[in-house]
Amino acid sequence: MTLLLVVVLLAAFLSIAAGIFQIAFTEYRLSGELSDSFRALYAADEGIERLFFYDRVLDSALGCSGLGACTGIPETIFFGNGACMKLELSRDATAQTVVTAVGEFRCGGSPIAVRRALWATYQKEAVADQLIALWPLDEGGGAQTAVDVRGGNNMVLGDTTAAEATDPAWTTVSGTDGALKFNGSTILKSLMNDFAQAPNDYSGTGPTPAIFDNFTIAFWVYPLENRTSTAELTSGLAFGWNLNLQSFALFPSDGGTGCISPSRKGAGVSVGQNGVSVFERDSTCAVYPPLVYNTTINSWTHIAVVYQSRTPMLYINGVLERTGLTPTGQVFPPRQLGDNGPNYGDFKGCIDDVRIYDQSLDAAMILDDYNATQAVHAGASC
């Protein structure tokens, strides 16, 4: 009788244990499925945001621009965490547009891959001509020109069209996305060509449009050394260019008048692992920073400088971090990556996807610009 009771109790215990195990296993499996589903859904949502931004702001989504009928070229973008997204767009003759994004976790044909799709439809409207210059920096190989796919203001690497060992080097960020890598400081900098410059600035002295006081500069950057942090200023000494310890990712022009009049001021951005400084350089060659922000930057980072009524505002990874001082005179965007002189400050690191807008983008548009290219740069090296 005692033995029978023990057997019965043991059987009951094993049955309860098996039940608990089954519940725990089921909950674990459901938890994993929910996590996978969320990752796939997140990828799809980011894809829709990217398509919206490319089509409705940049007027360039999957090879389709304008209001006419078009079927976009599908594009698959891989994240670094095992997720990916496939983007599609179609538009009919009435400008009715359908965008689809399929997010997938465990990409690459896995039998346990999870897919989630989102789609949206809208009436395409004419896009305001806000983006006036875009250097994707995807040429790679032995290309000696960085093409401005928006405004045709192409940059030449170094000081000649012939390739030289001292020119910036092409590098890969992810997949087909490229960037330019700059070698930085050297005692022979005056003999170096570690920069890329477009032929025309935006001060009204050339064929490119004159853009003053209200514009946006946006780019991705991965600095490999510090820049010197200084106080914020609204003026500087003429020919006061002893800024050797800056790190000019985008170099400020002198206003196109050869250091004669201080009325026009080129904007530039110095980026180091210890922060960002926005500089202006006037036509007396005075250089000064109306905005200085110290922070840690040790990976690919999205920088946007918005000038509104001559006042610079700094966004980092889509977030407004600082508003600077307001100097006098007209301010216009840069046309050069890196520094081509011995006294200002050389950049060491990588630069990608440089854009200039002829308007002061608002916070939502800056965040869209960041989200549109964030996945490509996440976890990438320089």
What is the DSSP secondary structure assignment for residue 34, as one 8-state letter? Answer: H
Closest C-alpha among 95, 87, 159 to residue 119: 87
> By the 8 A CB rule, do 323 and 232 touch?
no
Arithmetic mean of pLDDT, 261-287:
85
d(CA 276, CA 208): 27
Of 102 and 193, more confident: 102
CA 87 to the chain's CA centroid: 19
DSSP 263-318: TEEEEEEEEETTEEEEEEEETT--EEEEEEEE----S-EEEEEEEETTEEEEEETT
Arithmetic mean of pLDDT, 335-356:
83
| Res 102 pLDDT > 70 | yes
Residue 79, Cβ density class (10 Å: 0-12 exposed, 13-18 middle, ≥19 buried): buried
What pLDDT is recorded for position 340? Answer: 61
50 φ/ψ angles, rounded to the nearest 5 degrees: -65, -45
Of 83 and 301, more confident: 301
Q: What is the pTM of this model?
A: 0.70
pLDDT confidence band for 241 (50 / 70 / 90): low
Closest C-alpha among 276, 268, 265, 237 to residue 327: 265
H-helix segments, the chain: 2-52, 363-377
Which tens digit of pLDDT belongs to each residue from 196-232?
Answer: 666 666 666 666 667 888 999 999 999 999 998 989 9
Arithmetic mean of pLDDT, 8-36:
47
Of 375 and 36, more confident: 375
Arithmetic mean of pLDDT, 224-241:
79
Of 194 and 74, more confident: 74
User: Does domain 131-377 correspond to CATH entry 2.60.120.200?
Assistant: yes
What pLDDT is recorded for position 31? Answer: 47
H or E segment and range at residue 91: strand 83-91
DSSP three-state, residue 69: coil
